[in-house]
Amino acid sequence: MTRPVRTRGAAAVSLALVALLAAGCGGRPTTHHKPGTSHEEATGTTGTLLTAQDGTGHRLREVPAARAPAVRAEARPDSEGGWNLRLDVTRFRFTPESAGGGAVPGRGHAHLLVDGKEIARLYGPWAYVPPGARSVTVRLHADDHTVWAVAGRPVEAVVPLGPGAPSPSAPAVTPTPTPTADQGRTVTLTITGRSVQPPPSRVELKKGDRVTLRVTSDRADTLHVHGYDRELPLAAGRPATLTFTADRTGLFEVETHESGLVLTQLVVR
């Protein structure tokens, strides 16, 4: 990496800045580009690359909600077992031809996760999910494999499958992540500097509910659940999860020790 040389003037400085931005691309810098790709494609500067990652080690790429892609998914039982999954994407185009290139708004592919484990990459709206799966997650990625994100959360659809899942006459359509039976209620929080996404609010729980806090902080910190006295170390940029049973009623604050932020309040009735 060359440093900007001031005497070369503004053009040299801005080129160096572009190089810096490209090199900062998620530890997965794009090193090859097809001839004829645009400047934006070549630099991968679309949106804001967050330090937060999804559960599979891909960094999130934040875009404004109004311009963000969206995905809904529906699973129908297949006559030979398993499910046929259909995606309904908006502001998004599957671009297998440019996978591995720079991030371009509204383009990319999906990653298919079965029970939280990545099993396939999707280049189109249909996928087959083998029998035995309990839930599928479809997450939208840019060509450089970063995850399209809004408010610090991946753009994804989660479809519960298996026993207890809705029948074919009432297909599961989930525009937003839904909790799985195992973990109960999942609360996903992202801390960037002094800001918390989603903004602090209250989470209503019934006594005996399982609750999972999934927290990503851009700096090392310690999460503390008051009343329950549960702590969770947070490593910078890595999601950490804490699951517990809300077996005491009351109002409990969830805060960070180092930065002293109140992330949310748990109301257990």
The residue type of 3 is R
145 near Cu ion, judged by CB under 5 A: yes
| DSSP-assigned states of every residue in 146-201 | PEEEETTEE-EEEEE-STTSPPTTS----SS----TTT-EEEEEEEETTEEESPS-
Q: In 10 A of CB 168, how many CB atoms? A: 12
d(CA 171, CA 165): 9
Least gap, CB of 140 to Cu ion (angstroms)? 10
Selected binder of Cu ion within 141, 152, 157, 261 (CB under 5 A)? 141
From 1-9, 43-51, 141-149, 243-251, give the range in contact with Cu ion by CB under 5 A.
Answer: 141-149
Q: By the 8 A CB rule, do 106 and 91 touch?
A: yes
Q: Which is nearer to Cu ion, 59 or 145 (CB)?
A: 145
Q: Which is nearer to Cu ion, 64 or 96 (CB)?
A: 96
153 near Cu ion, judged by CB under 5 A: no
Q: Which is nearer to Cu ion, 77 or 105 (CB)?
A: 105
From 82-90, 135-143, 224-232, 249-257, give the range in contact with Cu ion by CB under 5 A.
Answer: 135-143
Q: Which is nearer to Cu ion, 59 or 141 (CB)?
A: 141
Render the burial of 130-139: b for 16+ CB within 10 Å, e for the rest. Answer: eeebbbbbbb
Least gap, CB of 155 to Cu ion (angstroms)? 13
# residues contacting Cu ion (CB under 5 A): 2
First to last CA, the chain: 57
Query: Could you tell me which residues are beta bridge partners of residue 129?
Result: 83
Q: Which is nearer to Cu ion, 58 or 153 (CB)?
A: 58
Site for Cu ion in 113-132 (CB under 5 A): none
Is the bond preceding 179 in cis, omega lying within 30 degrees of 0? no
Site for Cu ion in 39-58 (CB under 5 A): none
The residue type of 126 is W
Q: Is the dihedral of CA 259, 236, 103, 8 positive or negative?
A: positive
From 6-14, 76-84, 133-141, 189-197, give the range in contact with Cu ion by CB under 5 A.
Answer: 133-141
Least gap, CB of 201 to Cu ion (angstroms)? 32
Q: Which is nearer to Cu ion, 30 or 264 (CB)?
A: 30
Kindly list the residues in this chain that would bind Cu ion in the complex (CB under 5 A): 141, 145
